[in-house]
Amino acid sequence: MASLSDYINRFLVNVPLLPTSLLPDEVVKRRYVKAGADYADSLSYTLHGADPIQQKEFMFKHDYWERELIRRGFNPVSIDQLYESGANDTKFEEVVKGIKKSKR
């Protein structure tokens, strides 16, 4: 059974207008994975005539959250992992938990 914090985190992933500096790391990681999964999915439709404007929007969102993730000291994950995370919730959670702080 999901805890209250799980529900709150899932809700915050979809709220677009909060200042990123106020968001906890867990929410930023979830938004990064969600934006990356959407972008990777749009790339898979490129050969099938995907809407280039929407694809660019997904790319900008992914880039924004990746920069925020890196700014906070986390390592980004590959686009392949992000694409697979869009397939099911279990993989999504694995990717989120797999994002680790860089060792500097």
10 occurs within a structural domain:
no
What pLDDT score was predicted for residue 41? 84
pTM for this entry: 0.74
Structural domain tally of the chain?
1
Q: Is 35 helix (H, G, I), strand (E, B) or coil?
A: helix
Given pLDDT bands bounded at 50, 70 and 90, which one contains residue 93?
confident
20 occurs within a structural domain:
no
What pLDDT score was predicted for residue 6? 60
* Domain, as residue range, for 40: 26-98
**Position 47, amino acid:** L
45 occurs within a structural domain:
yes
